[in-house]
Structure 1
Amino acid sequence: MTSHGKFRSSSGKGSRRSSVKKIVTDPKERQRLVENILKPFILEDSVYDKVCDVMLDNFNKGLGKDTNADARVKMFPTYVRSVPNGTEEGNFLALDLGGTNFRVLLINLNGQEVDMESKIYLIPQHIMLGTGVQLFDHIADCIYKFMKEHKLENKKLPLGFTFSFPCKQLGLAEAHLTTWTKGFKCEGVEGKDIVTLLHDAIKRKGDMHVECLAVINDTVGALMSCAHSDRQCGIGLILGTGTNACYIERLENVELWDADYEEPKQVIINTEWGALGDNGDLDFLITEYDKHVDKHSINAGKQIYEKMISGMYMGEIVRLVLEKLRKNGLLFNGKGSEELSTRGRFYTKYVSEIESDVDESDFKSTKQVFDELNLTDYTDQDCRIALHVCSLVSKRAAYLASAGIATLLNKMERKDVSVAVDGSLYRFHPHFHDLMVEKIQKLIKPGLRFKLMLSHDGSGKGAALVAAVANRLKEEALQKNSED
């Protein structure tokens, strides 16, 4: 048994033994009881098949004219109709706003060559809580400084804007903010078109020739970024703090489409699939731990599918399971710590770190996590159980995300599709990619092929590429009109 420093309890009155059932010492009995507690995370293939059926039904409701109003998965058309074809060239600006920092990027496209320069600017607290005019004037001021620094003052530049807040998109360059999140409360912006507010601020600033041609979210950015080098890319997936996906859909299936039906007869759909299950559709696989996480979240009853997958919640699910095992005398000799009993204190990065322990002879990463959590009474068997808990929770997350991707692949019915994936969960978890490949393979129709590829800087490069494609199509239309 290892001991690393003095035990700290949350009450300061000794250990938490009082809330612990009898310590189980018999190895076989211990294994049986542990497996019984973890059983809800081990799902049959038929359960994932059912998730695919539920997902498809929800996708179709979101796309349907008569069913969209009541649909939980909203399937928003993004108005992005084309992916890059490799002929895009020139200088483009991109803005990436989604938190207290925002980036201005200059992206030079020349065929397959992409050069990027960027600068991060801080948005002070008083501006986050001020007026919309102050916010967009600050953004315009930063764009101006960036352009001056790069000697671009007299250049006419198209701009792509990644705006990571909930919006109702009414056109490629028209997006109305529905509600502020992430600590922003700028008055006079909700319900307004953010492109108009940006253009008004650019006019007030003067001495700039910048036109915003497109507003996108991060899923579209991921897809576009990969599509620049891989023409087969048809799905964008985010697996990070949250989860969402977009894909290319045929216009004939988008009943709410109210724009033109000219070529290409397709549009990228932002599924907003995190809301799957908000109507009880996933109750057949919800565990007591999922219910607990949902109940104590800031949006109880919403984003049910997201809460079983994404990085914001995975660590908390693991913590709840570990605490249940401890209280049942199956872990840490029944002794916990203030950290382990604190909601949100078991970070999702711990899951990746623990699962990186390939050498079970020393459990180096797992023991480091235990030390950070001030756990002092553990054995190698405890390390093994913690690793098993993490692997089951993350495997379920990977398989659920796979069910969503398989549903999209089956719906698209393209023979070859590349899936662009971005987000810290996918990027840093040691097994997520392999688990997804394995499960998608089982869930897709025979004859379909896919590959998962890491998307690089979708919110920057992807935004510029959407603007570049929009610019190319605009110029092609002008040329066609002049020839006619």
Structure 2
Amino acid sequence: MQEVYTRFGSEIAKGLKRSTQAQANTKCWPTYVQDLPTGDEMGKYLALDLGGTNFRVLLVTLKGHHDASVDSQIYAVPKDLMVGPGVDLFDHIAECLAKFVAKHDMRNAYLPLGFTFSFPCEQVGLKEAMLTRWTKGFDCAGVEGEDVGRLLHEAIQRRDDVEIDVVGILNDTTGTLMSCAHRNPDCRVGVIVGTGCNACYVEHVDNVELMDPAYKRKQKQVIINIEWGAFGESGQLDFVRTEHDRKIDEKSINRSEQLFEKMTSGMYLGELVRLVLVQALEQNVIFKLSSKRQEYADILRNNVDIFETKHMSEIEDDTFPEFANTRRIVKQLFGLEKAAVEDCQKLKYICECVARRAGTLVAIGVSGLINRISDRRVVVGIDGSVYRYHPKFDAYIRETMHKLVKSDKEFDIMLSEDGSGRGAALVAAVASKTK
């Protein structure tokens, strides 16, 4: 833990300096979000949240007094659009935006929009963000290296049926931080542990060499998007990576990239359990008494992603000796009517090892950020399906943080309520106010 902590800290320092940023895995992009919400924001704002196989459009009504109401709709991104031309993807998004606006009878209103785009981007302003690489199964041509704000703006213009102004682009970690800061002014760190894994934090502008000096005169702080999923790409994590981690990386569409994310995020945790379980079956240490052990190993070996990350959460939620969830999942996987208690315990142990390691790694990163921040009290806003639904993930994180956060600091963790949606609207609200 100490060694990973030290290596993580030196990566952050590298990412913030102009001279070493190119070599840093954690790019530490300035987001150009400098004003945190006060809680007094008012008005109606649109938010668009794209970060996976679905995206959401939200109408957020900010009512002052830290209060907001949210009306949202989820739209699917068809598989072919995830790997087709970028223009088609943005046209699809613009079409869904127009439908949403029409449904809420706001065709004639001027609508500022905050766009949560949860892929690695280099921000060059609040509403200009260049996609550096696709992740999470997306690979649309003609988008990498381009300004996604401009691509969305052009798609909206092509339709010419709604007046939507893209006023801010952010990723889901910034949205989480903004959303939590709206409710708790001590929030200084935003973390996502869901399909992907990333974090952001509030840094003093003097430490951010990559930022345009004109912005440094306005405010003394800025949110930094770390892109910590890429930590480890220069070998810093090799001493803790296992053969299972290497297998996952070899089979992924982004080999040798996002190595920290591959040890911590929902896209990979279930797959890690599957690989460990295959090995346990081959070495005859689980389901020892079953004559079909070889058959079970074949099922797991031949069906990538058959063991879902949500299964881990359900299994770790189980109680001894019933193991109701574990037995249901084993039956689903192998057709085994009633798994033995001992096998249920072993499967739960495998899940716990994978989840605890992920929680520990996330906590190492968060502790490093808290110790960088000058405030004595720091609240960490966290969102994402793994954190939200895994029954022990919060406990795993806190356990490590208590060991690593400096003793003169006070910290707390809060679950973000709809971070990437409400947070995007808050960025839009703050941007409109500044404008």
Pair in the same fold by TM > 0.5: yes
**Structure 1: which amino acid aligns with 2:163?**
H
Q: Structure 1 residue runs of 4+, over 6 Å off?
A: none
Alpha-carbon contact 1:413-1:448 (below 8 Å) kept: no
2:9 is matched with which residue?
Answer: 56
Partner residue of 1:379 out of 332, 337, 340 = 340
Give the structure 2 partner of residue 437 of structure 1: 398
In the alignment, which residue of structure 2 is the partner of 1:326? 281
Matches within 5 A, 1:97-246: 97-111=50-64, 112-123=66-77, 132-180=86-134, 187-246=141-200
1:424 maps to 385
Q: Which amino acid aligns with 1:364?
A: A
Unpaired segments ≥5 residues, structure 2? none
Residue of structure 2 equivalent to 1:459: 420
Give the structure 2 partner of residue 369 of structure 1: 329
The answer on whether the counterparts of 1:89 and 1:109 sit within 8 Å (CA) in structure 2 is: yes
Q: 1:181 to 1:303 in 2, by over 3 A?
A: closer
Alpha-carbon offset, residue 55 of structure 1 = 0.5
**Which residue type is aligned with residue 146 of structure 1?**
F
**Pair 128,330 (structure 1): closer, same or farther in 2 beyond 3 Å:** closer
Residue 70 of structure 1 aligns with which residue?
Answer: 23
Question: Residue 232 of structure 2 is aligned with which of 256, 260, 277?
Answer: 277
Report the alpha carbon displacement of residue 64 of structure 1 after superposing the two structures with TM.
1.1
Q: How many residues align?
A: 426
Shift of 1:440: 0.3
Conserved in 1, the CA contact under 8 Å of 2:136 and 2:195?
A: no
Residue of structure 2 equivalent to 1:248? 202
Residue 282 of structure 2 aligns to which amino acid in structure 1? K
In the alignment, the residues of structure 1 paired with residue 315 and residue 218 of structure 2 have an alpha-carbon distance, to the nearest angstrom, of: 50
- Match of 1:65, SS state, is coil
Select between 422-431 and 95-104 the one with higher mean Cα deviation. 95-104
Partner of residue 314, structure 1: 269
Partner of 1:95: 48
- Following TM superposition, by how much is the alpha carbon of 1:168 offset from its aligned partner in structure 2, in angstroms? 2.4
Letter in 1 for 2:279: K
Structure 2 residue 350 is matched with structure 1 residue 397 = no
2:246 to 291, 302, 312: 291
| TM-score with structure 2 setting the length | 0.91
User: Is contact 2:376–2:409 with CA below 8 Å preserved after alignment?
Assistant: yes
State the distance in 1 between where 2:383 and 2:244 align.
26
| Structure 2 SS opposite 1:326 | helix
CA RMSD, Structure 1 to Structure 2 (Å): 2.2
Q: Which amino acid aligns with 1:433?
A: D
The structure with the largest alpha-carbon Rg is 1
Identity fraction in percent? 48
Letter aligned with residue 458 of structure 1 = G
